[in-house]
Structure 1
Amino acid sequence: MDFLSLFVMDFVQQLQSPTLAFLIGGMIIAALGSELVIPESICTIIVFMLLTKIGLTGGIAIRNSNLADMVLPMICAVVVGILVVFIARYTLAKLPKVKVVDAIATGGLFGAVSGSTMAAGLTVLEEQKVPFEAWAGALYPFMDIPALVTAIVVANIYLNKKKLKAAQAHLTEEEYLSKQEYLSNQGAANNRVKIWPIIEESLRGPALSAMLLGLALGIFTRPESVYKGFYDPAFRGLLSILMLVMGMEAWSRLGELRKVAQWYVVYSVAAPFVHGLIAFGLGMIAHYVAGFSMGGVVILAVIASSSSDISGPPTLRAGIPSANPSAYIGASTAIGTPIAIGLCIPFFVGLAQAIGGL
């Protein structure tokens, strides 16, 4: 009973965080029909500054840290990114009225990382004075890129096999026997999806570009003065504006889910918790084996519960053009992101506190 009451108290306390309050406030004013509009150009600048700051933080920390300490958490991040795609492939894709290629794309987007959710998680931990490795934010690309690459590869393999079966279905038995070897060779050739262009597309995305820029500057230069004088003081204020925008956008995206199967709603609610719990479990292994902090475990769980809202959608649009954006973007933006920020962040902080790790 003490465990449950402690968890509930911590959970409620986390929901009162200013970061989460702005998200909820954005959803409320959008539901009330507010005409408030924040220009896209301003949001782009805010996202760039937030992710650059996270990159600078991680880069400065990496420069002053033992790289060996990062290896196991990075492996955990890669495993989670890949695993999330296969979870969607063999759960969501099996549900009624859900197209396999749409399910794979949804898994890719939920396996990729939301920079805004990660920023919100880092802020909540700082507000609660929870210690964590400053380089924990640098786990972002180790989960984000493998998830997007895996989704595109799995989707293309599925589509090519589907085309191959369709071609075989139109052949007579004699034609099939004579061309079976040819079709097999063609299928094998088509299934070879080029990995590097997918990685390159992800790296060029605005979110990863900003964060990797900050990471490189933090590692190879001495940006402490501009970091302390500009990026760090502005971080929380800018994040509050972004949370307000995301709340309004989440409400507006709810209509897109009406165009697809209702199972996407169920998936969008459950997936952030399931993915986060998997990452939390792997993070606990890194905690006991490599001394990864409990705050770092929470960050790993938070980025696993998030779904990409910036770099993921254009990458998947290009890599899986046959997938329905209303399905995977609607599921992510309308439900997945609010669940990750509003519920998963306090959930995993509360869980870590309840088991005595914080």
Structure 2
Amino acid sequence: MVIAALGSELVIPEAITQIIVFMLLMKIGLTGGQAIRNSNLTEMVLPVAFAMALGILIVFIARYTLAKLPKVKTVDAIATGGLFGAVSGSTMAAALTVLDGQKIQYEAWAGALYPFMDIPALVTAIVIANIYLNKKKRSAAGESFSKQEYLSKQTVAAGDYPDQQDYPSTRQEYLSKQQSADNRVKIWPIVKESLQGSALSAMLLGIAIGILAQPESVYKSFYDPAFRGLLSILMLVMGMEAWSRLGELRKVAQWYVVYSVVAPLLHGFIAFGLGMIAHYTTGFSMGGVVVLAVIASSSSDISGPPTLRAGIPSANPSAYIGASTAIGTPIAIGVGIPLFLGLAQAIGGG
């Protein structure tokens, strides 16, 4: 961020960044896939359920906190919640690297929790936003409705309504007739778009290869040794991107700054608490608890923005992308990772 602030002309080509992200997520996917292949799947049930619940819960938190603040548009707040509920692959990669460096044990499949939090968050945000927009649209139509106006604009053929009983005589009846199938939110296209996103596609590909093939040799000779170096380059890119997004935050309400600082830590603490429940009931490791907390505190920087742009086109990208990239991600990495790691060590005595 300092380099960008000083006006450096350093540029990492987008193609290189995409390759780096692909390799990092492939490595995480391969790790998870190999672990799933060799593990007891019943151990994953509770962490997976908690990951899904967290993705949905985070969106509702934004809907009923951020959206209620002055000068914050509801649809922008919902989109922001969706982005903060979704997962940052780079933040998760950084957390796994720190855990490895501290020699803290965690389930190798912990990285596979990513899609179980990411997809529900994006789907929930888009569904809630569209329901809100449709309700707002119908409400506006109902306010301007009158039976006389409606009848004056209709050309009714003789005998169509012999008893005049089919005319919409109340606002509720009018609104119910306006609620067509086109206004209903279709969930599967959202899920499909999320799964087809570059980030999730790379991770799911890695998981599939790890489960169905035996990639240990290429994993040990190629993906694993390059992981830390590639991650360091991605952190540089993200820092420069974060600085560029700070300008966008100035265009929207200052409450986004407050939310971006508080939300990652709040989400992480909720996830840490749920992780501890899994720890005491199923033996989920303290390292796994840290991973769950970190991915909950993260906000999507790869797959989330294009998904939300397509699913909630009326939302302001300066609000949700600026809040996530400029402040949310640095907080999750710089504060969240050491905080939750230290908390786990204090509780676990390690």
Tell me which interval the TM-score lies in, with the shorter structure as reference length: over 0.9
What amino acid does structure 2 have at the position aligned with 1:337? T
Residue correspondences, number? 332
1:55-101 per-position Cα deviation (integer Å, ceiling 9, x unaligned): 00000000000000000000000000000000000000000000000
Whether 1:187 aligns to 2:179 is: yes
**Contact 2:67 2:74 (C-alpha < 8 Å) held by counterparts:** yes
Q: CA RMSD in A?
A: 1.3
SS at match of 1:229: helix
1:154 counterpart residue number? 128
1:261 counterpart residue number? 253
Whether 1:40 aligns to 2:14 is: yes
Cα distance in structure 2, aligned partners of 1:278 and 1:191: 34
**Contact 1:161 1:187 (C-alpha < 8 Å) held by counterparts:** no
The correspondence for 1:143, drawn from 117, 123, 126, is 117
Cα distance in structure 2, aligned partners of 1:260 and 1:148: 22
Cα distance in structure 2, aligned partners of 1:326 and 1:179: 37
The correspondence for 2:225, drawn from 226, 230, 233, is 233
The structural deviation recorded for 1:178 is 4.2
> 1:106-121 counterparts in 2 under 5 A?
106-121=80-95
1:256-305 per-position Cα deviation (integer Å, ceiling 9, x unaligned): 00110000000000000000011101111111111100000000000000
**Contact 1:110 1:306 (C-alpha < 8 Å) held by counterparts:** yes
**Contact 1:55 1:138 (C-alpha < 8 Å) held by counterparts:** yes
Whether 1:205 aligns to 2:179 is: no
What amino acid does structure 1 have at the position aligned with 2:196? R
1:23 counterpart residue number? none
- Counting aligned pairs with the same residue, the percent is 81
1:79 counterpart residue number? 53
The correspondence for 1:164, drawn from 132, 138, 145, is 138
Cα distance in structure 2, aligned partners of 1:357 and 1:99: 45
Cα distance in structure 1, aligned partners of 2:223 and 2:35: 16
Cα distance in structure 1, aligned partners of 2:337 and 2:170: 58
What amino acid does structure 2 have at the position aligned with 1:118? M
Structure with the greater alpha carbon radius of gyration? 2
> 1:1-358 counterparts in 2 under 5 A?
27-172=1-146, 177-178=169-170, 180-187=172-179, 189=181, 192-356=184-348, 358=350
**Contact 1:202 1:315 (C-alpha < 8 Å) held by counterparts:** yes
The structural deviation recorded for 1:33 is 1.8
**Contact 2:142 2:171 (C-alpha < 8 Å) held by counterparts:** no
Cα distance in structure 1, aligned partners of 2:349 and 2:269: 15
The structural deviation recorded for 1:187 is 3.1
Cα distance in structure 2, aligned partners of 1:82 and 1:351: 25
The structural deviation recorded for 1:189 is 4.2
CA change 1:48–1:191 in 2 (3 A) is: same
1:104-124 per-position Cα deviation (integer Å, ceiling 9, x unaligned): 000000000000000000000
SS at match of 2:343: helix
Cα distance in structure 1, aligned partners of 2:283 and 2:123: 30
The structural deviation recorded for 1:183 is 1.6
Cα distance in structure 2, aligned partners of 1:34 and 1:45: 23
SS at match of 2:315: coil
Cα distance in structure 1, aligned partners of 2:344 and 2:177: 52
The structural deviation recorded for 1:252 is 1.2
Cα distance in structure 2, aligned partners of 1:309 and 1:302: 14
The structural deviation recorded for 1:185 is 4.4
CA change 1:185–1:284 in 2 (3 A) is: farther
The structural deviation recorded for 1:353 is 1.1
Q: Give unpaired runs (5+ residues) of structure 2.
A: 151-167
Moved more, 252-261 or 184-193: 184-193
**Contact 2:34 2:210 (C-alpha < 8 Å) held by counterparts:** yes
The structural deviation recorded for 1:352 is 0.8
Q: Give unpaired runs (5+ residues) of structure 1.
A: 1-26
Using structure 1 for the length normalisation, give the TM-score: 0.91
Cα distance in structure 2, aligned partners of 1:140 and 1:223: 21
CA change 1:157–1:42 in 2 (3 A) is: same
Identify, as 1 or 2, the structure richer in helix.
Answer: 1
**Contact 2:142 2:174 (C-alpha < 8 Å) held by counterparts:** no
Cα distance in structure 1, aligned partners of 2:266 and 2:170: 48
CA change 1:165–1:62 in 2 (3 A) is: same
**Contact 1:294 1:357 (C-alpha < 8 Å) held by counterparts:** no
Cα distance in structure 1, aligned partners of 2:27 and 2:231: 11
The structural deviation recorded for 1:179 is 5.5
Cα distance in structure 1, aligned partners of 2:69 and 2:143: 25
**Contact 1:114 1:303 (C-alpha < 8 Å) held by counterparts:** yes
